[in-house]
Amino acid sequence: MPGSLNNLRIDADVSRAWTLPADLYFDADVYAAEKDAIFCRSWQVIGRHDQVRNPGDYFTTELSGEPLLVVHGADRTLRAFYNVCRHRAGPPAEGCGSRKLFRCGYHGWTYDLDGSLISATEIDGVKGFREREFALVPVRVEEWFNFVFVNLDPDARRLAQGLKELSPQAQKFPIAGMKLFERRTYEMNCNWKTYVDNYLEGYHLPSVHPGLNRELDYNAYTVEPHEHYVRQFSPIRRAQRGDATPRRYREAREDLTTDYFWIFPNWMLNCYPDNISLNIVLPISSERSLAIFEWYLPEKEHCSPAAKASVEFSHQIQSEDVAICEIVQKNLHSQSYSRGRFSVKQEKGVHAFHRMYAEAMKSSSRRRSPNAGRK
């Protein structure tokens, strides 16, 4: 483990603090430690309510290398399980669809929608075998607006406890009434934290996103760190008579804002007056990540040219972000660079992330060595 992780400390005062050391953005051991300390312990968005709307509906997915199964039970309860058969680790379910029960694709053991083992084929004669002890292993699952979340930590606190004021803040945007319009994925040659850092400040808007900068009031761009998430918001700038380039929000009113929510560690909601996009960044390796974008709009807007334009507008911003993140990732290896300082005015969000990150990594190493600190 690099020493910079063992002694990691980010000063609570942003004006005194230094950023995370550069090696944390490319060290393979750090990446492995993050999986255990962060990704297996935090709430992760893995799907949408409409994928499991009716009893029997299910989908399978993977999170941090763990195969998972989410199913709407006959009793109308949403459940999640490790999609791993209790016999010899075959797949109880594959793909998505609707089922009355699950039959493992290896030797045919069957499981109820509530995970209990219904029958183990040809198991007669096995001593001490009790079917009730071989149910699928459950995973914590919760819903928030349209989204389905899981947490691989059985002792994690409830999702809502981490979101707190986010729900009322996001309610201003009609998330629940919107339907998935388009999904795109972007493979990026950067560490997931490089991408999150970039997301958490508007400091780069004038240089990296001139198009977006025209729509927003840069001087009023506000960063509001909370305990487990960061909100950034900006009023939409009124169209000016002399604007050289046509503006997307011609009708912009001062009460319209764009709100960008990032929730520790890796999911984001970009809320615009006419669309919302969900953005998830998943680590693939220490220097590669996958950004998933899902655009949500009211269903009646799905055929409008404006819907396509919203996606292309976000796509442009995303492409600009990927380009700068990939350059930064490469430069983090330079022997000239070890760590940096924060702009007090612009980088409170990045600072908050680095504090949350340091705390999560520290708590995990405390859990790993329960005697640490004892004489």
Q: Which residue has the tokens 């709100």?
A: 259
- Length of the chain equals 375
Q: Which residues pair with 183 in a beta bridge?
A: 294
Which does residue 321 touch among ligand FES, Fe ion, none (CB within 5 to 8 A, set by kind)? Fe ion
Phi, psi (5° rounding) for residue 166?
A: -65, -40
Q: Is 374 exposed, middle or buried (0-12, 13-18, 19+ CB in 10 A)?
A: exposed
Do 42 and 35 contact (CB within 8 A), yes or no? no
CB of 108 to ligand FES, least distance (A): 6
Query: Rounded to whole angstroms, how far apart are CA atoms 335 and 333?
Result: 6
CB of 87 to ligand FES, least distance (A): 3
Q: With respect to Fe ion, which residue has the nearer C-beta, 317 or 360?
A: 317
CB atoms within 10 A of CB 149: 18
| Subset of residues 46 to 75 that bind ligand FES, contact rule: CB under 6 A | none
Pattern 259-298, binding to ligand FES, x per CB under 6 A?
----------------------------------------
The amino acid occupying position 264 is: F
Among 87, 140, 339, 355, binds ligand FES (CB under 6 A): 87
Question: What's the start-to-end Cα distance of the chain, in Å?
Answer: 23
Q: With respect to ligand FES, which residue has the nearer C-beta, 24 or 104?
A: 104
Q: Which stretch binds ligand FES (CB under 6 A): 10-18, 99-107, 126-134, 336-344?
A: 99-107
Asked if residue 82 binds ligand FES (CB under 6 A), the reply is: no
Total residues at interface with ligand FES (CB under 6 A): 10
Total residues at interface with Fe ion (CB under 5 A): 1
Which residues, including other chains, have CB under 8 Å from residue 134's CB and lie 6 or more apart?
A: 86, 87, 109, 117, 120
Do 223 and 202 contact (CB within 8 A), yes or no? yes
Which residues, including other chains, have CB under 8 Å from residue 306's CB and lie 6 or more apart?
A: 274
CB of 120 to ligand FES, least distance (A): 7
The amino acid occupying position 298 is: P
Query: Rounded to whole angstroms, how far apart are CA atoms 168 and 29?
Result: 39
Asked if residue 106 binds ligand FES (CB under 6 A), the reply is: yes
Asked if residue 215 binds Fe ion (CB under 5 A), the reply is: no
Between the alpha carbon of residue 359 and those of residues 234, 346, 350, the distances in Å are 29, 22, 14
CB of 202 to Fe ion, least distance (A): 8
Among 99, 107, 179, 228, binds ligand FES (CB under 6 A): 107
Asked if residue 24 binds ligand FES (CB under 6 A), the reply is: no
Asked if residue 85 binds ligand FES (CB under 6 A), the reply is: yes
Which does residue 27 touch among ligand FES, Fe ion, none (CB within 5 to 8 A, set by kind)? none
Which does residue 249 touch among ligand FES, Fe ion, none (CB within 5 to 8 A, set by kind)? none
Residue of minimal CB distance from Fe ion? Answer: 321
Reported as type and span, the H/E element at residue 288 is strand 288-298
Binding site for ligand FES (CB under 6 A): 85, 87-90, 104, 106-109
Q: Residue numbers of the site for Fe ion (CB under 5 A)?
A: 321
